[in-house]
Amino acid sequence: MRVEELVRRSLHHMADTDALPEPGLAGRVLRTRRRRRARGLTGAVVAVAAAATVAVAGPLTGPGAGGGGPATSPQRDVAGRPGESPPRQLIAAGDVAVSAYHTRRTEDLPGGDTVEIRNWHLYDPDTGRYEETDWAWLDVAPGMRTAAVLEKDLPADRIGLLDLASGEVERWIPLDRGGVGSVEFSPDGERLLATAYAHNPDRRFKDASYPLNGDEVPGAKPGRTGFYVIDADSGDASFTALPAGAAPGFSTDPTNGREDLSWSSDGELLWEHWSYEPGRLYYDLSGERAGRPVPEKHVSDPGAGLSPNGRLVGGAPAGEGGGGAAAVLDAKTGERVAKVPARQLLAWADDERLLAWGCGSGGCRDSESPDRLVLVSLDGDTVVPLSGARAGNGGDAGRWVPEFTER
Partner 1 sequence: MDAASEAGFREFVESRSGVLFRTALLLSGGDRGAAEDLLQNALIKAAGRWHRLDEPEAYVRQVLYRQQISRWRLRRLSRERVVAEPPEPGGAAAGGDPAHDAELRVVMARALRRLTTRQRTMLVLRYYEDLPEAEVAALLGCSVGTVRSTTRRSLDKLRAVSPELASLTLRPPRTPEPVREEQLSEVKP
Enumerate binding residues for partner 1 (CB under 8 A).
1-4, 6-22, 25-30, 32-33, 36, 70, 72-74, 143, 145-146, 161, 163-166, 168, 170-171, 232-234
| Nearest C-alpha neighbor of 314 from the set 303, 302, 298, 301 | 303
Residue among 66 and 322 whose Cβ is closer to partner 1:
66
Tell me the sheet residues that pair with 401.
102
**Would you say the C-alpha torsion 189, 195, 199, 205 has a positive or negative sign?**
negative
Q: How far is the CB of 10 from partner 1 (least distance, A)?
A: 4
Residue among 20 and 294 whose Cβ is closer to partner 1:
20
Residue among 165 and 198 whose Cβ is closer to partner 1:
165
Residue among 46 and 65 whose Cβ is closer to partner 1:
65
Alpha-carbon gap, residue 51 to 47, rounded angstroms? 13
Residue among 160 and 222 whose Cβ is closer to partner 1:
160
Tell me the sheet residues that pair with 237.
230
Alpha-carbon gap, residue 378 to 340, rounded angstroms? 6
List, in sequence order, the alpha helices (H) in 245-362.
none
Alpha-carbon gap, residue 228 to 231, rounded angstroms? 10
Residue among 27 and 278 whose Cβ is closer to partner 1:
27
Q: How far is the CB of 75 from partner 1 (least distance, A)?
A: 10
State residue 5 phi and psi, 5-degree precision.
-70, -35
How many CB atoms neighbour CB 2 within 10 A?
Answer: 7
Alpha-carbon gap, residue 330 to 321, rounded angstroms? 19
| Nearest C-alpha neighbor of 87 from the set 137, 129, 139 | 129
| Nearest C-alpha neighbor of 82 from the set 372, 383, 404, 361 | 372
Could you tell me if 375 and 386 are in contact, meaning their C-beta atoms sit under 8 angstroms apart? yes
Q: How far is the CB of 183 from partner 1 (least distance, A)?
A: 14
How many helices (H) and strands (E) are present in the chain, helices listed first? 2, 30
Residue among 188 and 301 whose Cβ is closer to partner 1:
188
Residue among 4 and 134 whose Cβ is closer to partner 1:
4
Alpha-carbon gap, residue 327 to 317, rounded angstroms? 6
| Nearest C-alpha neighbor of 97 from the set 169, 48, 147 | 147
Q: How far is the CB of 37 from partner 1 (least distance, A)?
A: 8
Q: How far is the CB of 22 from partner 1 (least distance, A)?
A: 6
| Nearest C-alpha neighbor of 342 from the set 366, 369, 376 | 376
**Would you say the C-alpha torsion 94, 96, 100, 102 has a positive or negative sign?**
negative
Q: How far is the CB of 19 from partner 1 (least distance, A)?
A: 5
Q: How far is the CB of 230 from partner 1 (least distance, A)?
A: 12
Q: How far is the CB of 171 from partner 1 (least distance, A)?
A: 8
Residue among 160 and 358 whose Cβ is closer to partner 1:
160
Q: How far is the CB of 186 from partner 1 (least distance, A)?
A: 13
